Amino acid sequence: MLRQRVLTALILAPLAILLILLTPTSVFACLLSVAFLAATWEWTRLAGIANRSIRGAMLGVALIVFIALWWFRTAAWLWPTVIAVGVAWWLLACLWLRNFAFAAAPTPENRNLKLLAGAFVVFPAWVAGINIHGSEPHGHVWTFLAMLLVWAADTGAFFSGRFFGKRKLAPQISPGKTWAGVYGAFATSAAVAAVAGWLLGVRDLRLAGLIVVTVVTVASSIVGDLLESLMKRHANVKDSGALFPGHGGLLDRLDSVFAALPVFALGKLLLGL
């Protein structure tokens, strides 16, 4: 399994980096929409929607929302508001993680609640990703940095958890995660942010602010990972899909990103970067 994960990552990571760095923001928005719609397809299954026609109709609605958000992107209040709502949602999600059994029963009410949660997961992350990518200067590089921080956190968490992990983080939700992994994720991503920020010309207090934003971003990415794990436990499945060998579905790859992007985008705005 580890070998499959590494091989898949070696193929996907360079492709993702090239698309982030080389495509104009309008094209990047379309590509991100496709990826997020595919993840939404998997989310609807985890939420308890079995009928493929209904799930397809929900993707149509999601596509309309993406188009509307892009069409009204020039409204000065809209995108910052959506990003702030996304950050607020991930704070609320922490309470859900503390109550594992909440919405676990396969009732229509719980299904609808999970579908609503999916909207708060997907749309703010999409807006945040496009907002970062289209920012000046170096929006493409900042987007790559946001992704790099998540990847660095995953790597740091894996190795520190493997060698030092004893105390479990959330055994009911994700038995493999440990507090040592969390600390390793923080340390690795903070180091990456310090180097990248310096190279991007961020100095003095703003560099310290970027490191703080990075730690908060990584903390939110862990919450995103745990929330998707909780959804899978409720649905009694191991992976959200089988698109990537050794990695599961697209939602399994984007769960941390969904949570990280709004937090990083808001922190970048607040720091004036």
Domain boundaries, the chain: 2-271
Residue 169's φ and ψ, nearest 5 degrees, are -80, -50
Amino acid (1-letter code) at residue 84:
A
Q: What is the pLDDT of residue 166?
A: 82
pLDDT of residue 193: 96
Half-sphere exposure of 104 (CA within 13 A, CB side): 13
Q: What is the pLDDT of residue 8?
A: 64
Distances, alpha carbon 146 to alpha carbons 129, 143, 258, in Å: 9, 5, 11
Looking at residue 246, its pLDDT comes to: 53
Listed in sequence order, the residues at least 6 apart from 21 whose beta carbon sits closer than 8 Å to its beta carbon are 140, 141, 144
- Compute the distance between CA of residue 18 and CA of residue 134 in angstroms, rounded to an integer: 16
For 37, phi and psi rounded to 5 degrees?
-65, -40
pLDDT in the model for residue 6: 63
User: Which residues of the chain register pLDDT less than 70?
Assistant: 1-10, 241-248
Q: What is the pLDDT of residue 241?
A: 64
d(CA 189, CA 267): 15
